[in-house]
Structure 1
């Protein structure tokens, strides 16, 4: 029996099993088995099969956005309109057969936008070019799911299922769990909060299913069984996601208003160039980038070439972005802007100082 058949068998058994206190341990074990088979399917042990490889597109720029959707929702049109890249578009499905990169230049940042081939149902099992699409999506800093505003919400649900099946968690934070393997000593279990969605027995059952008999587990938030399995497997990717509904020129204003009010959502029309500037603003916000300007001693700040970094970046990351030789010879830095305690005046800071958007940094070496 192949892996796909085994997975189908487990899914059928889970569907037949009633969810109650008596069956939750059994369900926990089935979920753990299913997660293990999915990992084997997407990342086969034999490297020659290449099942988990993505498209060969080099990551470039300050961030990467992956465009995902079913065929003919307007991904290629969006790429052509927001970047200087021509992606083939047509009224029939599966026009794009490989990943096509483009670059959005915004606020001094270069953001790579990847137009991925249309996903079909069953992509997680390798249908179409599903494995390559989702494997490339794992390398993105933001996933943009393009949807057709004229179709039902079923398209959104199906895409979420496909991405969830390959370990991509949309708009979620990694659960606050500390898991550490040991050589001996058995299982040490600690929970700092009351667990209402799972319990210690279920977690110990899952650990036994993975043949983990010596480890430390500390749980610091009220998690579900699935979230514990995610941490145990360790290859889950937590990615922000923006749902973009295209073709809003074909639906009523009431429908547009209803869709636009949903969380993590933007509404556009590629055909009529509606709301594309706002979409790029939303992408920037969801990427969580900050711009930092550099300043040489005795000179004005260089406002034409900012360093683009993730929110929470430190002066050390700024140094590494400029040149790796700066950190070993670092003495101190002067920072002007929102992160300075003496704003608008400069603050003398160390490598672990966290910079904020539009800060000016001057680095002094030994």
Structure 2
């Protein structure tokens, strides 16, 4: 029996099983088995990479955005409008058959855009080129889910299911669970908050499926079986996502008001370039980037070419390293103008955390 057939068999059994306290352990074990089988699909085949031709694209720029959507929702048109890169456009399915890269320059940042082939239902089970599409999506800093505004919720749900099946968690944070295997001592479980979805027997049953009989585990959140499996698997990626509801030129103002209630969504028209400003602003916010300007001694700041950093890696040392790895060896301190300091300029050390649009002057050792 193939991996795909085993997955279908387990999914069918889960669908048949009534959900209650008596079956909770059994369902937890089935979910663990399912996660292990899906991990096999994530593992690249050793028999050659012919199937991935046209999908692997070298990373460039400070961030990577992937377009995902069903065929013919307007991804290629959007790509062409945003980047000037030609991605074949056609009013029929599967116009794009490989990854098409482009570059967007925004607020001084160079952002790589990837137009991926249209995803179809069943992609996580190997249909079409879904496996390769989702594998590239796992490498993205942000995902644009491009949806047809005439049926947004149906397509949204289907695509989320496909991405979830390959370990991509959209607009979520990793569950706050401490987990560490040990050599002996059995399963030690503690929780700092009440657990409404798990108990010790369930935890032991799931760990046993992974042949883990000795471990320390602490729940700092009201975790579910899925949360626990995600932590044990350890291969999940947590990616921000924006839902681009395309073709708003085909709906009424009243319908547009309803569309705006969907979380993480921006209604647009790729063809007419409507609402691109809001789309770009949300993109910048979700990418969580910061622009840092350099100021050579005795000169005005250079506002034309900012150093763009992830806000999670935005110390003065990160700023120095992004310019040249050797700078930090000669670093004495820095002068900073901007919102990260109490007064401008303020002398700071290499560990100081910078804010968006700060100006930095590096002072070298004598």
Q: Distance in 2 between matches of 1:329 and 1:186?
A: 51
CA distance in 2, matches of 1:287, 1:221: 26
Separation in 1, partners of 2:49, 2:167:
18
Who is 2:8 aligned against? Answer: 8
- Unmatched 5+ residue regions in structure 1? none
Q: CA RMSD in A?
A: 1.6
Could you tell me the TM-score, scaled by structure 1's length?
Answer: 0.95
Corresponding residue for 2:140? 140
**Structure 1 segments (4+ residues) deviating >3 Å:** 49-54
Once the two structures are TM-superposed, the CA of residue 48 in structure 1 deviates from its matched residue by 2.2
Shift of 1:321: 0.8
Shift of 1:51: 9.0
Q: In the alignment, which residue of structure 2 is the partner of 1:272? A: 272
The answer to whether the 8 Å contact 1:43/1:52 transfers is no
Partner residue of 2:190? 190
Whether the 8 Å contact between 2:68 and 2:144 is mirrored in structure 1 is: yes
Tell me the TM-score normalized by structure 2: 0.95
The 5 A counterparts of 1:210-249 are: 210-249=210-249
After superposition, the C-alpha distances for 1:96-121 in whole angstroms (9 at most, x for unaligned) are 11111111111111111111000011
After alignment, is 325-334 or 242-251 more displaced?
325-334
How far off is 1:152 after superposition? 5.2
Paired position in structure 1 for 2:356:
357
Alignment of 1:15-94 (within 5 A): 15-44=15-44, 46-50=45-49, 55-94=55-94
Per-residue CA shift, 1:33-82, capped at 9, x if unaligned? 100000012215x4225499681211111111000000000000001111
Contact kept, 8 Å, 1:169 with 1:238, in 2: the verdict is yes
- Structure 1: distance between partners of 2:181 and 2:49: 29
1:110 aligns with 2:110: yes
Give the equivalent residue in structure 2 for 1:316: 317
Q: What number of residue pairs does the alignment pair up?
A: 363
Residues 152 and 245 of structure 2 are in contact (CA less than 8 Å); yes or no, is this contact kept in structure 1?
A: no
5 Å matches for 1:120-159?
A: 120-151=120-151, 153-159=153-159
Residue 338 (structure 2) pairs with residue 337 (structure 1) = yes
Matches within 5 A, 1:245-264: 245-264=245-264
Structure 2 runs not aligned, ≥5 long:
none
SS at structure 2 position matched to 1:103: strand
Alignment match, 1:303: 303
Q: Against the structure 1 CA distance between its residues 101 and 359, is the aligned structure 2 distance closer, same or farther, given a 3 Å change threshold?
A: same
Distance 1:231 1:240 in 2: 19
Write the distance in 1 (CA, Å) between the matches of 2:317 and 2:191. 35
Over 3 Å counting, the alpha-carbon distance change for 1:185 and 1:328 in structure 2 is farther
Q: Secondary structure at the match of 2:328?
A: coil
